[in-house]
Chains A and B, each alone.
Chain A
Amino acid sequence: MEMSVMDLQTPELTALLPRENPFCVEAVENLAFRLPSGITWDTLLSRLEANNWTGSIVGPNGSGKSTLLEQLVPRLENRGFRPFFCRLTTESTHADKEALLAAVRELRTPDVFLLDGAEQLSTRQWLPLRVAVDSLAGCVVTLHRTGRLPIVLQTETTPALLAQLIHELTGGSSLPPGETATLLARHRGNVRDCFRELYDRCAE
């Protein structure tokens, strides 16, 4: 019989320890990015190559953009590039962004600059960075909205995707029918936040 994640809330079962929790950060971070149907890693790399290894991954919060960018690193290395990965968050300061620009200005081909969180840069901060990456082998950024670089992939989340990821994380369990869609809608499509709620459910 298929075991439901909800089963873990029954009083007869002991709450899961953090290291046993299937939705712990370590397990979530090890999930492979699920490319959309019809798209392979070769397809994605071909799109980048067609754009001189420059482009953006666009999508809402919690849709896997960071994961995709991280998993692009070894694939770029296999193509002979030298990925330089940086991440900006809402907590990144002005000094952080200035330091980022200074670091990028030191890079040279075959360096490829990968920036997770490019939407954290204002237009004034983005423009000099855009100029600096012109001398590099490439530049790939993640963004919430289109605009700054050609789009190579738009990420999106669906109940089917979330169900697939839950299935993998739990070794075969699933939520009751309809609840996956409800969970995803409650978190406005943010899979990461769905995992956080499921972590808490398993920890109770």
Chain B
Amino acid sequence: MLQLGLRENRSTFSPGEELAGAALWEGDAPPTLAEVRLVWSTKGKGTGDAAVVETVAFADPQAGDTRPFSFRLPAAPYSFSGKLISLVWAVELVLQPGPRCDRREIVIAPGGAEVLLPRLPKKT
């Protein structure tokens, strides 16, 4: 079992804010790797893109463990949705071997509101 919890159960943030939380896992044996990643990826039409922006690796993880983590969220890119793609931010807890993963999607944008790109009017 593994679980990510975000402080105050928040899922929306402004750029530059601190994101804090705790990672919890239980298993039969200590994982060989336990880390939390701040990632973004695109979803929609066409080949997706993704990036790991920052990683917090936990030293000497135990079979059952709870670890705090925090990220200073970047200035960009914003969470957005257009017609073809959405850019989605997420925090992921990754354990190896497995891999086992828990993921929480978040919004990083001014005012914590995903940017919705305007649609161009259809040509007539």
Interface residues of B in 33-67 (CB under 8 A from A): 43-48
Which residues does chain B contribute within 8 Å of A17, judged by CB atoms? 81, 86, 116
| A115, B77: Cα distance in complex, Å | 36
Number of A-B contacts (CB under 8 A): 38
The answer to whether A24 and B83 touch across the interface, beta carbons within 8 angstroms, is no
Is A196 an interface residue when CB atoms closer than 8 A count as contact?
yes
A19 in contact with B48 given A24-B43, A26-B43 (CB within 8 Å): no
> Is the pair B81, A18 in contact by a Cβ cutoff of 8 Å?
yes
Give chain A nearest CB distance to B41 CB in angstroms: 8
Instruction: Tell me if B94 is interfacial: C-beta within 8 Å of chain A.
Output: no
CB pair B45–A196 under 8 Å, yes or no, is yes
B residues 63-93 in Cβ contact with A at 8 Å: 81-86, 88
B residues in contact with A200, CB < 8 Å = 45
Pair A25/B88 contact, Cβ less than 8 Å: no
CA distance A24 to B84 in the complex (A): 9
B83 contacts which chain A residues (CB < 8 A)?
18, 203
Select from chain A the residue with minimum beta-carbon distance to B88.
A19
B122's nearest neighbour on chain A, judged by CB, is: A204
Q: How far is the CA of A37 from the CA of B107 in the complex (A)?
A: 44
| Complex Cα spacing A18 to B119, Å | 13
Tell me if B45 and A199 are in contact (CB < 8 A): yes
Within the complex, which residue of B44, B82, B116, B119 is in contact with A24, where a contact is CB–CB below 8 Å?
Answer: B44
A21 within 8 A of B: yes
For the complex, what is the distance from the CA of A196 to the CA of B119, rounded to whole Å? 19
Q: Does B43 lie within 8 Å of A19, measured CB to CB?
A: yes
Asked if residues B48 and A18 are in contact (CB atoms below 8 Å), the reply is no
| B47-A18 in contact (CB<8A) | no
Q: Which among B46, B81, B82, B119 is the interface contact of A25 at CB below 8 angstroms?
A: B46
Minimum distance in angstroms from B68 CB to a CB of chain A: 29
Contact yes or no, A25 B84, CB < 8 A: no
Min CB gap A113→B, angstroms: 24
Which residues of the partner chain A approach B119 to less than 8 Å between Cβ atoms? 15
Residue of A nearest to B79 (CB): A19
CB B118 to nearest CB in A, in angstroms, measures 12
**Separation of A199 and B84 alpha carbons in the complex (Å):** 9
Residues A1-36 near B (CB distance < 8 A): 15, 17-19, 21, 24-26
Q: How far is the CA of A17 from the CA of B119 in the complex (A)?
A: 11
From A15, A196, A203, residue with most partner B Cβ within 10 Å: A203
Say how far A112's CB is from chain B's closest CB, in angstroms: 23
Q: Once bound together, how far apart are the Cα atoms of A110 and B16, in whole Å? A: 49
CA distance A21 to B83 in the complex (A): 10
Closest chain B CB from A108 CB (angstroms): 26
The complex places the Cα of A95 from the Cα of B119 at a distance, in Å, of 40
Q: Please list 8 pairs of residues, one from A and one from B, whose beta carbons are closer than 8 Å in the complex, sorted by A's number.
A: A18-B81, A19-B81, A19-B88, A21-B45, A25-B46, A25-B47, A26-B43, A199-B44
